[in-house]
Structure 1
Amino acid sequence: MYNYIPLEQAADILDSYRKPVNSKERLNLIKGKPLDELFPYYGATGQVGWIDSFLTDGEYILLGEDGAPFLNPYAEKAYIIYGKTWVNNHAHILRSKTNNEFLCYYLNYFNYKNYVSGTTRLKLTQAQMRKIPIPNIPSDEQSRVVAHIEELFSELDKVVGTLKTTKEQLEVYRQAVLKDAFSDFEKKDSIRNLTVVVTSGSRGWAKYYSNSGALFVRIGNLTHSGIDIDFRDIQHITPPDNAEGVRTRLQPNDVLVSITADLGSIGFVSEKVEEAYINQHIALVRFQNPVQGRFMAWYLRSEYGQKDLLKNKRGGGKLGLGLDDIRDTPVPIVDDITATEIVDKVEEQLSVCDSIEKTVDTALAQADAMRQSILKQAFEE
């Protein structure tokens, strides 16, 4: 069983080295300067940019002060930086008196529940941080613990790397399926001539937010990996009883397109969706022939559809699509029987892919749990 000492005895606390500089000021400082003349600028959870000078030079541990995922046992709250760097005021700067790696691993294992304050943005004050109990063991024992952790983490990283490669290969396979399905369509027409509605939501929906009621689909509920709407983080609303509520209410077989931020994400409204609405960042595309809505959604999700859909994207730093850009996008002319056959074949092939991906995601989650288990074993001996 370990003996413990407060962190203020186990490490030098060097918060006086840190200094915040907002992003606008940093952009002005680095404008026109080559990357090899700049230095990393760090915050609570990692590097957040670059700057033209440095305040620290060496090896230090950064522990989040605010904005770090303190209550997520699988997420990092501390990390090590090296060389010439600049740290803002969202991270504490520490230097272990014995072993930085040991202290950093321990700080990522530690339960901060009784040490942080706040609700939406948790904060670890310096006063509370100083009290964190740190195992007080000889430096050679700390080195042994670190070596054991890193050996196990190295093996785990190999497995995680293989799993991530598998996910990348699945995405390549998805695109290959779609490319094969939609490669033979030469006859096309614009969405403008095949739809009855192309519209988007308006601003001001926040006042209708509620804990239950109708569904409110936002960009985060659309994906680039499929066309089904992700309802895991769905907002609910009490819809307005006016023209806006009627205009932006979704109907089965509507196709949704993100028109700001993550451009080109596609969604499809199935028969299962009861009452749902969209905000100003999503366009609703309602085809004259609703039977082909799902076919059109898959086409727009494909390499061909994405190329035509996004060729007219506009803007500088913040890209967007106008409704006329969507209306002018060409899509295949196809009969209902062919459309249904293609959708059935695509979804049969992709269902296998989805099943594999779920297995991979489960394994990745288990890897995160295993990482924490390794730390637990190391620090609860």
Structure 2
Amino acid sequence: MHLKKEKRNMDSDHLPLNWSWVKLGDIGKIVSGGTPSTKIHDYFNGDIAWITPADLTGYSNKYISSGRRNLSELGLKNSSARLMPKGSILFSSRAPIGYVVIASNEISTNQGFKNLIPNEKVFNEFVFYYLKASRQLAEQNASGTTFKEISSKNFSKLPIPLPPLKEQHNIVEKVEELFSELDNGIENLKKAKEQIKTYRQAVLKFAFEGKLTNGKSEKAKGKGENGELPEGWKWVQLNEVCDKIQDGSHYSPQKKYPVNDGSKFLYLTSKNIRNNYLTFEKTEYVDKEFHNSIYPRCNPEYGDILLTKDGANTGNVTTNTLDEEFSLLSSVCLIKPSKDMLLPNFLKYYIQSPIGFKEITGSMTGTAIKRIILKRIKSAKISLPDIKLQNLIVQEIESRFSVADKMEQSIDESLQKAESLRQSILKQAFEGKLIQQIQEGKGLSNFQRMQVIGAVIKVMDSFSYKKGEMIIAKFIYLVDKLYKLNLNFNYKQWHFGPYSPEIKKLLNTRSGYFNRMGTDAKSFYTLTKEEKLFSYPNPLVNQVKEKLPNLTKIFSKYKVPKERDHKIELLASVCKVIEDEGTNDLTEVYQALKQWKTSKTITGFNNKAEKFSLSEVERALNFIDKQEWFDILA
């Protein structure tokens, strides 16, 4: 079979000079899987991890250690499954094609995989991301009628661009850094979407408390069995203000049709009802005989209310927007409001509100399938103002919902763009463009710098240091300059020592990695997403964890926090002067500290020389000389 190529140019001219195109079979051994007879119990429930494509449905981690079932030694021996070493790359080759994971221990798979045991030429995580980006290419080279599958032969021939091993590691690090920033953005977008959902519920709550149109609730008439109501409102039973409350057919039609030949009628069930709209995915039709058996009793018309009373979507409600006859199943309740007393949209929003939903659904019956009985719906209480106010309330709700809808649409578009960006990142990675960015030295990303800040906070935790913003900033300055981390912060002579406003910005970003405790000058920061922050490799984090304890130990002998903070500020300030002035002469350094202006209102001093005595500065300079830091700083 001729191997098909995705729309990518396999010509080496389109890759960096030290890269080359190879085949998957060139960088490791291709291994398939197998399944022993499921009729023999002794073949299963052993200690050998065994993966099927079903185990990867919804699985998002890079590594996997086991599936739902294990094989026994006997089961492995009596099947075509093979035990593969830790680090092997598992790729689902059918049903569906394209799941990718890395084995975190010895593992086997069923026949739904083509696996790669990588050789020394490749970093398995580099191949992992390449295969994640190559699902379409694999599908193009699959065959089959019932379901497509890519063969071992074709899988081994799939092309992969191969850079030197060190660059593979650099690319993976860059991809994961960018993915982390992207994941954080997606998480924030999803939070914003949840906030919109909460806002909608707040609007509905206010609406049916009478607060939406009046700014605040009018004087209540008094407490009834369902709570207080504004002046002019009343509690009524739903069946008192409706012409009909009826469910659909209590039996399914013997024949359903996928298309309408002109003589059929649309057939809607609970799956077609959503909040505020009808969905027509997988719609079905019924014949005239069935339709006529139900329509006289349950006759939905334009503007009526359709409420899901059975199933997973129980409680969903919408206005009927169809101007044609159709049939309903009993999972849907038809409500025809008496329009001189109750507006359909007022009722719809009431059911969606916290108070209305609770009143309509009550204690829903059923365990696996939720159900509202018709009697409950008919006897449900509704808080009712006059028609004029109902109309005004509906207008106010829809005005606010319109704004929320636009915001939600914008968020959804951003989420779609985020997923497209993920694919774009992978595309750039395997075209050699990410490594070009790394080699061009475009500097650290904000995420990498947040990782360093997180590492500083973690080390300070281990020494029981308070982690205020200024103390964190001074330790970041010292570790950055003394150990040449090149964090690219623009440190300035601040009131309490060297400081970069960018540190504050990163500490208070919406990323959620840091949590500020307190609001005054004594506030401090803690790590909140430590596992996620450090889940992406960053060599600088390891340097901080290795080097910073040497600095923190210097100050550990000072047990009084105020004295310790003073010594930290002294060392950082003297180091900053040496860096700026290029001198370690005591007179020149002390003169520079006199020029370092501070606010007396904030610090109690006009300049640093007022805060630090000449003898303190001399001792700091002697310590710096002893540590051989002058040449590093100057």
Taking structure 2 as the reference length, the TM-score comes to 0.49
Give the structure 2 partner of residue 210 of structure 1.
259
Give the structure 2 partner of residue 106 of structure 1.
130
Change (3 A) 1:20 1:303: farther
In the TM superposition, 1:66-81 aligns within 5 A as 66-68=94-96, 77-80=99-102
Give the structure 1 partner of residue 194 of structure 2.
168
C-alpha distance after superposition, 1:194-224 (max 9, x if no partner): 431321344248722217876554544433x
The structure whose RCO (Cα within 8 Å, separation 6+) is larger is 1
Q: Shift of the alpha carbon at 1:342?
A: 1.1
CA distance in 2, matches of 1:143, 1:240: 67
In the TM superposition, 1:54-65 aligns within 5 A as 58-65=86-93
2:55 to 43, 57, 70: 43
Change (3 A) 1:332 1:119: farther
Partner of 1:285: helix, strand, or coil?
A: strand
Give the structure 2 partner of residue 361 of structure 1.
412
Mark the structure with the bigger radius of gyration.
2
Give the structure 2 partner of residue 36 of structure 1.
none
Query: In structure 2, what residue type is equivalent to 1:358?
Result: Q
C-alpha distance after superposition, 1:306-360 (max 9, x if no partner): 2223323122233333333433433233432222111111011110000111111
Give the structure 2 partner of residue 227 of structure 1.
276
CA RMSD after TM alignment: 3.9
In the TM superposition, 1:238-253 aligns within 5 A as 240-242=288-290, 243-244=292-293, 246=295, 250-253=300-303
Q: Is the CA contact (8 Å cut-off) linking 1:43 and 1:89 kept in structure 2?
A: no
Query: In structure 1, what residue type is equivalent to 2:307?
Result: V
CA distance in 2, matches of 1:367, 1:164: 12
Give the structure 1 partner of residue 403 of structure 2.
352
The answer to which of 196-205 and 46-55 deviates more is 46-55
Partner of 2:357: helix, strand, or coil?
A: helix
Q: Is the CA contact (8 Å cut-off) linking 1:219 and 1:262 kept in structure 2?
A: yes
1:191 aligns with 2:232: no
Q: Is the CA contact (8 Å cut-off) linking 2:34 and 2:110 kept in structure 1?
A: no
CA distance in 1, matches of 2:378, 2:419: 44
Q: Shift of the alpha carbon at 1:180?
A: 0.5
Query: In structure 2, what residue type is equivalent to 1:64?
Result: S
Give the structure 2 partner of residue 73 of structure 1.
none
Q: Is the CA contact (8 Å cut-off) linking 1:190 and 1:327 kept in structure 2?
A: yes
Give the structure 2 partner of residue 200 of structure 1.
248
Partner of 2:369: helix, strand, or coil?
A: coil
Query: In structure 2, what residue type is equivalent to 1:304?
Result: I
1:311 aligns with 2:362: yes
Partner of 1:210: helix, strand, or coil?
A: coil
Change (3 A) 1:19 1:90: farther
Structure 2 residues without counterparts, runs of 5 or longer:
1-11, 13-18, 61-65, 73-82, 211-227, 433-634
Query: In structure 2, what residue type is equivalent to 1:140?
Result: K
Taking structure 1 as the reference length, the TM-score comes to 0.77
CA distance in 2, matches of 1:199, 1:9: 65
Q: Shift of the alpha carbon at 1:376?
A: 1.2
Q: Is the CA contact (8 Å cut-off) linking 2:33 and 2:110 kept in structure 1?
A: no
In the TM superposition, 1:283-294 aligns within 5 A as 283-289=333-339, 292-294=343-345
Structure 1 residues without counterparts, runs of 5 or longer:
30-38, 71-75
Change (3 A) 1:326 1:117: farther
Partner of 2:307: helix, strand, or coil?
A: strand
Give the structure 2 partner of residue 33 of structure 1.
none
Change (3 A) 1:88 1:208: same
The answer to which of 344-353 and 323-332 deviates more is 323-332
Partner of 1:209: helix, strand, or coil?
A: coil
Query: In structure 2, what residue type is equivalent to 1:200?
Result: G
CA distance in 1, matches of 2:373, 2:108: 41
Query: In structure 2, what residue type is equivalent to 1:240?
Result: K
CA distance in 2, matches of 1:154, 1:165: 16
Change (3 A) 1:150 1:210: same
Query: In structure 2, what residue type is equivalent to 1:63?
Result: F
Q: Shift of the alpha carbon at 1:52?
A: 7.3
Q: Shift of the alpha carbon at 1:123?
A: 4.2
Partner of 1:283: helix, strand, or coil?
A: strand
Partner of 1:161: helix, strand, or coil?
A: helix
Change (3 A) 1:245 1:40: same
Q: Shift of the alpha carbon at 1:124?
A: 4.2
Q: Is the CA contact (8 Å cut-off) linking 1:212 and 1:236 kept in structure 2?
A: no
